[in-house]
Amino acid sequence: MRKLSVRVGERVGSVSALLDRPRDARALLVFAHGAGAGMEHDFMEAMSARLSAAGIATLRYQFPYMEEGRRAPNPPGVLTATVRAAVATAAAEAGTLPLLAGGKSLGGRMTSTAAAKQALPGVRGIVFFGFPLHAPGGSGRERAAHLRDVALPMLFLQGTRDKLADLSELRPVLDALGERASLHVVEGGDHSFHVPKRSGRGDDAVRDELADAVAQWSARII
């Protein structure tokens, strides 16, 4: 694990990042955190470890508000600028490794928002660990409107109990994207991919499933 710094810009400054690159890496995922927890959250660390074991390096990074210890996310323009800066940092570290990008919830959505506005250099596909389609318990598809402008393969990892993405609302969005969109459903998973105890599975098994899904999908697109 290496500590890095991502330079976002003069007004924003720099944010912290962590690069986990196994010797047998075949791709590098630029991995953004969700709205409420930073790059060292248990989910981020656990997924990075599992992806590393599957041959996918990760570059985790902080959004500026998280770096500063604030709760409220930055405006979208700052978040997408951070995504773009993190991708540039990853590209400089990757050498010949192909790049993937994405993240947990907000991090994934800001990655695709950035890609919809302008291509992310070197990125071959986007991974969403729980796309936040609407407010908790709500409905609507407005947050997904930009996805039609993303000219990349996209993998959506979604739980059946995710209150931020009713699958009956999400599936038509993905259908409209055609072959660009792949969906992996975690039975019983909520927005954090926790499953009920009665399922007989725990976080470790679900996270193994997620890493395996990302590894299989990435092998098809890179």
Question: Residue 43 sits in a domain of what CATH number?
Answer: 3.40.50.1820
| Dihedrals phi, psi of 40, to nearest 5 degrees | -100, 10
Rounded Cα gap, residues 71 and 193, in angstroms: 22
CA distances from 71 to 17, 18, 67, 112, 175 (A): 19, 21, 10, 22, 35
Task: Read off the amino acid at residue 178.
Answer: G
As a three-state string, the secondary structure of the chain is CEEEEEEEECCCEEEEEEEECCCCCCEEEEEECCCCCCCCCHHHHHHHHHHHHCCEEEEEECCHHHHCCCCCCCCHHHHHHHHHHHHHHHHHHHCCCCEEEEEECHHHHHHHHHHHHCCCCCEEEEEEECCCCCCCCCCCCHHHHHHHHCCCCEEEEEECCCCCCCHHHHHHHHHHHHHHEEEEEECCCCCCCCCCHHHCCCHHHHHHHHHHHHHHHHHHHC
- Please give the tally of structural domains in the chain: 1
Per-residue pLDDT of the chain (222 residues; tens, 9 = 90+): 999 999 999 899 999 999 999 999 999 999 999 999 999 999 999 999 999 999 999 999 999 999 999 999 999 999 999 999 999 999 999 999 999 999 999 999 999 999 999 999 999 999 999 999 998 888 889 999 999 999 999 999 999 999 999 999 999 999 999 999 999 999 999 999 999 999 999 999 999 999 999 999 999 999
- List, for residues 176-205, the tens digit of each pLDDT value: 999 999 999 999 999 999 999 999 999 999
> 146 is in which domain, residue-wise?
2-221
- List, for residues 212-221, the tens digit of each pLDDT value: 999 999 999 9
**Phi-psi region at 25: left, alpha or beta (left = phi > 0; alpha = psi -120 to 50):** beta
Of residues 181, 189, 71, 78, the one with CA closest to residue 126: 181
- What number of residues does the chain have? 222
- Give Dmax (Cα) for the chain: 51
